[in-house]
Every structure is written in structure tokens, then in C-alpha cells.
Amino acid sequence: MQVRAIDEDGLRQVEQWLAVDPAGGAIFGGFYGHAVERWAPLLQAPSRHGWITFDEAGPIGFVDLEILDEEAEVTYYVSTDRRGQGLGRATVEQVVQLSTELGAEQIHASVDPANEAALATLRSTAFVEQGANEFDEIEFVLQRASG
């Protein structure tokens, strides 16, 4: 798996993925469904990072990462046509690597309880389930070993 920094074409790709994905659109569409308008300005901050993930077969999805005070908050998405191939786990592994390279000691991810695939993916990794947060999402945390 590889990543490239998200650009305007990538932001439009995110919008297109969510426009044809009823489940993903319901979860992510309010913000990422308007990525050009809403996400692009946030990517100007040095603490915010966005990538398109891809492999030899083409685009897989996207990653949104914000790191403040060595704590990372991550959102990731796998497009509908690439699901069921183990790419969610590969994406999470990539997120952990990128977060660590950018100085994160702790990585947080929140998952809608209806997103069974994402829940299963995070539960199969080193992330630790923390329970529901104030938005009724399931919170996960990965504590990196201090070096």
C-alpha cells in the first residue's frame, strides 16, 4: 500500500466515493462529502494531513490525520469496490506508521457502531477499545511505546 498527499483531484475523488456509498455517505458524508469546501482549508494547518491510499490496482480510499501534542486522531475510509480484500487492516497499519513518523505517541479512532467492518478491523489490531464517546461512537486508542 502506498499513499500520496491529497490534492484537489483527491478531494473530488473522496466526494465521488461518498456520493455512491449509502453507508459511507451516511457516516462520513456530512463533512467529507464536501471535502473540497470543508476539508481542504483544514489541510493548510501543519497538524492536519490527508492522503489517498492506493496499490497497484488503483485507489483504495483516504486517510485524514490530525496530530496535536503527540496525540493523533485518525479517520480512514476504504471505497466500496475495494472492500473485503483486507485493505482496511493494511490501511490501519499504514495509519499507525504515518502517525508514528509524524511524532504521535497515542492514536485515537472513533467508529460508528453500525460500521461492523471498521470495528472488526480495529479490534483485530493493537488498538484498545475504550467504549462509547459523547457522540455514541466506539472509541479506540493505540498507545505507542515511547522511544
Q: Residue 64: its pLDDT value, please?
A: 96
Residue 147 predicted with pLDDT over 60: no
Q: What is the chain's percent helix, strand, coil content, to nearest 5?
A: 40, 35, 30
The pLDDT score that the predictor gives to residue 7 is 96
**With b meaning 16 or more CB within 10 Å and e meaning fewer, what string describes 17-43?**
bbeebeebbebbbeebbebeeebbeeb
pLDDT digits (tens, 9 = 90+) for 62-113: 999 999 999 999 999 999 999 999 999 999 999 999 999 999 999 999 999 9
CB 24 within 8 A of CB 80: yes
The percentage of residues in the chain with a pLDDT greater than 70, rounded to a whole number, is 98
The predicted pLDDT at position 146 comes to 59
pTM, two decimals, is 0.91
Residue 19: the pLDDT is: 95
